[in-house]
Amino acid sequence: MSTPDSELPSYTRIPSSADTRGPASTLSTQHRIRLESRDSKTRPWLTLLLRSRAPDAKGLPLYFDRDVIKGKVMVDLEKPETVKGIAVTLRAGITAVGQEEDVFLEETHTLWSAADGNASKLTGKHEWPFKIALPADTLASQNPKLPRERWALPPSFSERASPTYIDYRLVVTVRRGVLRVNNTLTTSFGYRPRSAAQPPSVLRLLAYQERSPLLGPDADPEGWKSFPVTIQGTLFNTRPVTVSSTLAIATPFTYALNSPIPLHLTLRSTDTQALDLLSSPGAPLVQLTRTVALGSDATDERAARRSNNTFTAAVGRAVFWPEEQQPAGGMERRLRGELHVRQGTKPSFAFPRFVVKYDLTLLAPRVSGFAVQNARPGDALMSQRVTITLSNAPGIIPVSRAPPGYGDEAEGDYNVATGFLENGDQRFLSHRLG
């Protein structure tokens, strides 16, 4: 009746932040993970029952920080079997290509033990409830030679062809004793630390509440930070042009999933033709850039980054539209803009050997008829680190101000690690946790 681990059912989907229904507000979704006997493919002899925040019982369980995992282990044995003990283990770790898992959280609860005076053989139906409180942090170190420090638990993380993933799982172990193969029943689960964006300025908050137009940097200086950039180039290969560009980004620099990042762009030049080109729809290039840093110096901002431990990709692009009221004189163009943080974006986090961080980046324009001289097309002219959070500040509901027709310019390449995997461990290509 012993069932090897290789016969366990495969569970390949962790509820991700892209699930449109979102997590449940309570631990109300019931999951049954079962291990069937060889003698009966319809009768499970070992069952793990859990309740979680997952939006769908068919997906894997989902928990937030400080949640209490409540469950039950059930056995249904048709005949007496030798069992030394039954335990449930909470385990979490980081696994990189070609390396063993680096476990940063492990906690085992014994549910039943023959050593406690119980009979060494079990038969019939039995069940044992359990509770495991998820901690908010754990002890970890960037380097085995350094002392461990307390870090907030990272979220579960995996993407197609990612060279590293973070996995949380529950393992039920039925110990059989000497010379007997133990039985294990394992399920991964999604873990999301709760994080909230900081409140906006008073005037922006009022605009959200009244659903009125957002005030720009001049009228709401506390709600914006401006970044001046000078762009030099040649127009139609005939005349040199200088354009003063000022990108204003809404502060504070924390933004929630499925929310807009307000932007404001001002262009000034004595060449009105150049202004018309650089202010045309699609000409301004502002993108949200994600960087995944791996390895022993992942949390060190001063460390040199290499292509085998740093993966950068654009995960969103801003849209811009002209302000209704333009300054007189024709030497200035003012644009409103926003960048939508997609629901499926992974929130920012930092943990030893694994960091996900974001920057808002203004790129050199790529416009037909205008050749940039002081930068290559697509080069970063300025960049600002921002934090992506799971939710908005309490009571804050940002509303998109983009006019009809100015849709979300979605970008994203989560396959940046494929080349890294070509000489690595191909099993990561099928480890899809969402």
Model pLDDT for residues 6-36, shown as the tens digit of each residue: 333 333 334 444 444 567 678 999 999 999 8
Classify residue 296 by its DSSP letter. T
pLDDT score of 305: 82
Query: Per-residue b/e over 347-381, b at no fewer than 16 CB within 10 Å?
Result: bbbebbbbbbbbbbbbbbbebeebebeebeeeeeb
Percentage, residues of the chain above pLDDT 70: 87
Give the number of other Cβ atoms within 10 Å of residue 256's Cβ.
22
Which pTM was predicted?
0.85
CATH (one of 2.60.40.640, 3.90.1410.10, 2.60.40.10, 3.10.129.10) for 5-192: 2.60.40.640
Q: What is the dihedral of CA 150, 151, 156, 158, to 10 degrees?
A: -110
Q: What contacts 414, CB < 8 A, 6 or more positions away? A: 159, 160, 161, 162, 313
- Does the pLDDT at position 427 exceed 50? no
pLDDT in tens, 300-341: 888 888 888 899 999 999 999 999 888 888 899 999 999 999
CA angle, 172 then 175 then 179, to 5°: 140
The DSSP code for 179 is T
CA distance 43 to 76: 9
Distance, CA of 384 to CA of 369 (rounded, Å): 29
Q: What is the pLDDT of residues 121-144, one digit of tens each?
A: 899 999 999 999 999 999 999 887
- pLDDT band, residue 433 (cuts 50/70/90): very low
Contact partners, residue 396, CB within 8 Å, separation at least 6: 197, 199, 200, 205, 208
Q: Would you say domain 202-403 falls under CATH 1.10.240.10?
A: no
How high is the pLDDT of residue 40?
64
Q: How do residues 383-417 score in pLDDT, each as one tens digit?
A: 999 999 999 999 999 989 888 877 666 555 444 44
State the span(s) of the chain assigned CATH 2.60.40.640.
5-192, 202-403
